[in-house]
Structure 1
Amino acid sequence: MFGNILRNSIPCISNITSTGFPRTFCTTQSLCEIRKLARMRVVDNSAIGRAAAAAGRPARVIQVYNKKGVGMIGDKILVAIKGQKKKAYIVGLKQTQKPLMPRFDTNNIVLVEDNNSPTGTRIRVPIPSQLRGQGKEFTKILAIASKFV
């Protein structure tokens, strides 16, 4: 009953269900922030990262190690990749950044071991130069990077 009234009175709403409410569809832009179950791209040359990329199964975030639960560049995260749990650092985000911080086309991570040494021996993409001032845990990651943005 109400569906017919709304359908006749508002021409732009054509997908009204029998309950009188429009079907669910998104009109807003999708979020690009790093939360649980976000898909990440491994950008180092570790064997597990290359195997996951070849299989088409990207790493998924399990935990973000900060108070907010939303990851930013330089944050440590726990990811599930190829059935294993690995720790990683975020080195690139699609999310809109602060001024002078680069924005990337993909959400990039570098896998690290428990002692913060990188799993791979080379990073294949440019990483933000702002990571240089964030602490000593990034010195090994910066050492294997070839390009900075």
Structure 2
Amino acid sequence: MWNLSGNLCLRTAQKVLQGANEFSTTSTANHIMHMTRLRVVDNSALGKQAMLEGRPPKCIHVYNKTRVGTIGDKVMIAINGQKKKAVIVGVKQKQRSLVPKFDSNNIVLIDDNGTPLGTRIYAPIPSVLRKILKERCVPKKIDYTKLLSIATKFV
């Protein structure tokens, strides 16, 4: 009698384990790394076209040591069959205190010398970005002050 109930419990446990293989228990990746989809928040023609077609740009490379992007990092993206550089202005991942968390991963397209391709940024930009980008400004190299000047809203 004990054997039969033991076998019954074993079969039930096997069915439960088989059902557990149908879904994943890992958390979603909120980091900006290789092949992450991004949202262009400026009014550049290339960015508008990609977002209207429903083919958002994807991250190819993050220019930092850890290869995981946060606010203020420069990334290379693939957009409409082209490679462009961009600056991250908002991320979904958990942030330190006084840095806002966004609903999407936002970027602004830039040239090689740091000037933005668009003339206006529509999404709100964290005010911490002003401090981060001014620290990264190197004379005669990349100047991010133009990017800050075209922003319309700060959070």
Specify the TM-score bucket, using the shorter chain as the normaliser.
0.7 to 0.9
Say if 2:115 and 2:144, in contact at 8 Å, map to a contact too.
no
1:8 to 2:12 alignment: yes
Question: 1:70 offset after TM fit, Å?
Answer: 0.2
Q: Distance in 1 between matches of 2:31 and 2:10?
A: 37
Q: Identity over the aligned pairs, expressed in percent?
A: 53
Cα separation, 1, equivalents of 2:122 and 2:151? 8
SS of the aligned residue for 1:106 comes to coil
Does the CA-based 8 Å contact 2:35-2:59 persist in structure 1?
Answer: yes
**Shift, 1:131, TM fit:** 1.3
Gaps of 5+ in 2: 1-7, 138-142
Distance across 2 between alignment mates of 1:101 and 1:138? 19
Q: Which moved more, 1:83-92 or 1:25-34?
A: 25-34
When residues 139 and 7 of structure 1 are mapped into structure 2, their CA distance, relative to the original with a 3 A threshold, is farther
Q: How does 1:132-147 map to 2 (within 5 A)?
A: 132-134=130-132, 135=134, 136=137, 137-147=143-153
Structure with the higher helix share, 1 or 2: 2
Residue 40 of structure 2, aligned match among 33, 39, 42: 42
Larger radius of gyration between Structure 1 and Structure 2? 2
Unaligned runs of 5+ in 1: 16-21
Output aligned runs, 1:24-103, within 5 Å.
Answer: 25-103=23-101
Give the partner amino acid of 2:40.
V
RMSD over equivalenced CA pairs, Å:
1.8
Relative to the length of structure 2, the TM-score reads 0.84
Equivalent residue number for residue 112 of structure 2: 114
AA at the equivalent of 1:105: D
The count of corresponding residues between Structure 1 and Structure 2 is 140
Deviations 1:34-76 (A, max 9, x none): 0100000000000000000110000000000000000010000
